[in-house]
């Protein structure tokens, strides 16, 4: 029996198909069939731009699937469906990864449910330090920077009115400009931090599945805990998850309110004597300071 797909998923596929059909003389290569990576998404009413980043990530993962085989099946909660109702329904199908949640309670609930269903929870909506600390769960991988990382970045730059974000639409280096342009071209708006988090979460899920040669949550989770699990988020440094709290190592960008148009300041800065992990571990909770003990 064919699997039902959501309206959003159907529309997404239709858009991709239409764009392909509308492009003359473009030839796709056929590759052997492989089981698709299944991802469940509970969209955020509070941060709708996150869904756009997820959409771009899914589109690009499907493009990559034409190269390497497999695919990405995305199941999306209905717009009027509460997280409490949608989460158990979506997780009953045991997707490899689930995304959603805006509050600490929601994110913790999703992480707990994902763990119980042998799925992974990719946190793209909660910067709460407790989820990386006392409430940490092994099935949870925190894609966006923690509140501690953002606070520290602002304090290090010591500028009045400064804010720190995971991404900035003014970034240029290491392909940031092409990512910003791809997003702008598709959605007619700049790519902000929520969109980047959604995009990179899907990219990490897809690439981890591809490199681990697995489409189930536990295998992908085990791969993410290896030293070879590194990802390019167009930030110029290899991104990886900290073993002690599953926070994604990454630089963040500080902008000053009074310096409109100025290039954002990257924190932490690179030091010649440090490798990328050591350098990025200067931001946020260090291993020695972590109080995370995986909750079961």
Partner 1 sequence: MRHIAWLAAFAAMAAPAPAHPQVHAPHAPTLWISNEAGHSVTVVDAASNRVLATIPLGARARGIHASPDGRRVYVALSNDAGQRDPAKEQIVAVDVATRHVVAHYRVGSDPEQFAVSPDGRTLYVANEDGGTATMLDVATGKRLGALVVGIEPEGVTFSPDGRWVYVTSETSNSLSVIDAVRHKVVSNILVDLRPRAAAFTPDGRRIFVTAEVGGSLSAIDAATRDVLATIPIENNEGKPVGVVVSPDGRRVYVAAGKGNALHVFDARTYRSIATIPVGQRPWGVAISADGRFVYTADGLSNTVSVVSTSNNRVVQRIPTGNKPWGIAIVP
What are the residues whose beta carbons fall under 8 Å from the beta carbon of 290, sequence distance 6 or more? 132, 133, 244, 245
Q: Is 175 in the site for partner 1 (CB under 8 A)?
A: yes
Among 9, 81, 102, 177, binds partner 1 (CB under 8 A): 177
- Interaction of residue 204 with partner 1, rule CB under 8 A: no
HSE-CB of 131 using CA atoms within 13 angstroms: 31
| Residue 3 or 185 having the CB closest to partner 1 | 185
Provide the minimum distance between the beta carbon of 114 and partner 1 in the complex, in angstroms, as a whole number: 27
Q: What is the closest distance, in whole angstroms, from the C-beta atom of residue 83 to partner 1 in the complex?
A: 31
Determine the Cα–Cα distance for residues 122 and 239; give it in Å rounded to an integer: 15
* Residue partners of 213: CB distance under 8 A and separation at least 6: none
**Judged by CB under 8 A, does residue 102 bind partner 1?**
no
* Shortest distance in whole angstroms from residue 4 CB to partner 1: 29
- The alpha carbon torsion through 192, 198, 202, 208 (nearest 10 deg) reads 90
Question: Which residue is listed with tokens 């925190």?
Answer: 142
Give the H or E element holding residue 71: none
Q: What's the token pair of residue 229?
A: 């699990």
Tokens for 288, please give them. 């020695």
Q: Nearest approach, Cβ of 76 to partner 1 (angstroms)? A: 23
The answer to whether 93 and 38 are in contact (CB under 8 A) is yes
Site string for partner 1, 15-44 (x = CB under 8 A): --------x-xxxxx-x-------------
How near is the Cβ of 106 to partner 1 at its closest, in Å?
30
Of the residues 109, 237, 246, 249, which one makes contact with partner 1 according to CB under 8 A: 237
CB of 21 to partner 1, least distance (A): 13
- CA separation for the pair 40, 103 (Å, rounded): 18
- Pick between residue 9 and residue 177 the one whose CB is nearest to partner 1: 177
Nearest of 232, 230, 237 to residue 251 by alpha carbon = 237
* 6-14, 39-47, 146-154, 233-241 -> range binding partner 1 (CB under 8 A): 233-241
Distance CA 38, CA 4 (A): 13
Positions 252 through 281 that interact with partner 1 (CB under 8 A): 270, 275-276
- The footprint of partner 1 on residues 47-86 (CB under 8 A) is 60, 63-64, 66-68
Chain residues in the site for partner 1 (CB under 8 A): 23, 25-29, 31, 60, 63-64, 66-68, 172, 174-175, 177-179, 181-182, 185, 203, 207, 210-211, 230-232, 234, 236-238, 270, 275-276
């Amino acid at each position: 029996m064919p699997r039902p797909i959501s309206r959003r998923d159907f529309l997404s596929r239709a858009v991709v198909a239409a764009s392909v059909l509308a492009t003359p003389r473009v030839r796709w290569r056929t590759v052997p069939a492989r089981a698709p990576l299944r991802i469940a998404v509970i969209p955020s009413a509070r941060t709708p731009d996150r869904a756009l980043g997820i959409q771009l990530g899914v589109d690009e993962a499907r493009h990559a699937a034409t190269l390497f085989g497999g695919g990405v099946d995305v199941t999306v909660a209905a717009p009027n469906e509460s997280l409490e109702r949608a989460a158990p329904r979506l997780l009953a199908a045991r997707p490899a990864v689930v995304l959603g949640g805006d509050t600490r309670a929601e994110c913790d609930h999703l992480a707990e449910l994902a763990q119980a269903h042998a799925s992974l929870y990719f946190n793209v909506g909660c910067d709460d330090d407790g989820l990386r600390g006392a409430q940490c769960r092994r099935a949870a991988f925190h894609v966006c920077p923690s509140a501690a990382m953002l606070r520290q970045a602002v304090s290090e730059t010591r500028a009045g009115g400064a804010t720190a974000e995971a991404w900035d639409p003014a970034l240029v280096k290491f392909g940031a400009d092409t990512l910003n342009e791809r997003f702008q071209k598709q959605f007619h708006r700049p790519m902000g931090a929520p969109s980047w988090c959604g995009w990179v979460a899907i990219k990490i899920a897809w690439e981890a599945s591809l490199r681990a040669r697995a489409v189930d949550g536990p295998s992908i989770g085990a791969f993410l805990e290896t030293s070879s699990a590194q990802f390019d988020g167009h930030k110029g440094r290899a991104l990886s998850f900290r073993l002690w709290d599953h926070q994604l190592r990454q630089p963040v960008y500080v902008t000053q309110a009074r310096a409109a148009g100025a290039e954002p300041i990257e924190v932490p800065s690179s030091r010649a004597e440090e490798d990328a992990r050591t350098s990025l571990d200067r931001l946020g909770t260090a291993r020695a300071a972590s109080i995370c003990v995986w909750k079961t």
